[in-house]
Copies of this chain bind each other. A is one copy, B any other.
Amino acid sequence: MPTLKDVARKANVSVSTVSYSVNDNPLIPEETRNRVKMIANDMGYRPNGNAKNLKKQKTNIIGLFLSGFSGPFFTDMMEGIHDVVLEKGFELVVSSSVEQHRLLVERYVDGAIILNYHMENELLTKVANEKFPLVVMDRMIEHPNITPVLLPNEEGALLGTKHLLEKGASSLAFIAGSKDSFDGERRLQGFKQGLSAYNLSFCEKEQLIRADFTEESGYIAMTEYLSQSSEVPEGFVAANDEMAIGTIRALSEAGIKVPDDAAVVGFDDIQLAKYIQPALTTVHVPRKEWGVQAARKLFGMLENQGEEVSHVINLKLVSRDSG
């Protein structure tokens, strides 16, 4: 693999001249520059990114750190982030890590967007600094160089809950995901707020069903719940659509008609939502927009334009057939 040095030798110029030339620096007269570039190209020269980054102390790469690639949820968001990153002349790398987080720790990127519960706050506060800003999408965290860009989860769940209540449901239950999901727990809060607003009390035993965000887990949890409780609530709010779909499946199998006997509203509005039977009423999350906002925020910090880039993400209820 030829280096600048090799090209320099063949072109009979110095390394600096080659460097300037391949980077199209007008310092070098066009004629020389083109000659050198030709030679470099012929030799199959390709810059070494690591050497470059080392010297420049900058990578022009943004990292997106996820806890996994699965789920229909993230791809839209990734697109939003990607658009902004490209627009800024950067590259995006997406990485899903569980333990090492090497890509974050060893500074392969100039800034990062985090949506990875495997990364602890301690790690994040340790790596973030003036020159290395972070945007977190899955937690609240206080740090001068870390900015959360969060969904208004309470509001969303409140929307869903009120919707059912307004439609006349007098008893509700919530299908939650695992406790360590920040978003999930905020959604639960929103549900409780909705109950309060209607002067209803909340009893964890009877109105909280725990699953883990997958369709299957929702199905299992609901089946179990139904076998244990004497009377079925008139409405269910789920912390995400997958679980809502699992819930509907369990209800149907138990002979409970949705939405007549029990209504169900989900959260996220995944693609599937409008295709299932009955079509799922859910809280729509503008995922791409969320990604865009996160990326913009990050560049705001990188470019140090002092001014807060404000962000607002609006959730809205999409009323379909299930509730």
Q: Are A106 and B69 in contact (CB under 8 A)?
A: no
27 pairs, A vs B, C-beta closer than 8 Å: A46-B105, A46-B107, A47-B106, A48-B107, A49-B102, A49-B108, A50-B50, A50-B51, A50-B54, A50-B107, A69-B79, A69-B82, A70-B76, A71-B75, A72-B75, A74-B75, A82-B96, A86-B98, A91-B95, A92-B95, A92-B96, A93-B93, A94-B94, A271-B272, A272-B272, A272-B275, A275-B275
Indicate the size class of the contact surface on chain A: 35 or more
Please provide the chain A residues from 90 to 130 with a CB less than 8 Å away from any CB of chain B in the complex. 91-98, 100, 102-103, 105-108, 126-127, 129
Q: Choose from B76, B91, B126, B272 the contact partner of A102 (Cβ within 8 Å).
A: B91
> Which residues on the B side are within 8 Å of A78 (C-beta)?
69
Cα-based distance from A71 to B82 in the complex (angstroms): 15
A196 at the interface (CB under 8 A from B): no
Please provide the chain A residues from 209 to 260 with a CB less than 8 Å away from any CB of chain B in the complex. none
Q: Are A72 and B271 in contact (CB under 8 A)?
A: yes
Minimum CB–CB distance from A113 to chain B (whole Å) comes to: 14
A44 at the interface (CB under 8 A from B): yes
Minimum CB–CB distance from A6 to chain B (whole Å) comes to: 15
Interface of A is mostly: mixed
A52 at the interface (CB under 8 A from B): yes
A50 and B108 in contact, given A69-B78, A69-B79, A271-B272 (Cβ under 8 angstroms): yes
A2 at the interface (CB under 8 A from B): no
Minimum CB–CB distance from A272 to chain B (whole Å) comes to: 6
Please provide the chain A residues from 3 to 26 with a CB less than 8 Å away from any CB of chain B in the complex. none
Cα-based distance from A54 to B105 in the complex (angstroms): 17
Cα-based distance from A60 to B100 in the complex (angstroms): 12
7 shortest interchain CB distances as A-B pairs: A49-B106, A69-B78, A93-B93, A94-B94, A50-B53, A50-B54, A50-B50
Residue in chain B with minimal CB distance to A61:
B103
> Which residues on the B side are within 8 Å of A272 (C-beta)?
271-272, 275
A106 and B48 in contact, given A93-B94, A277-B277 (Cβ under 8 angstroms): yes
Residue in chain B with minimal CB distance to A100:
B91
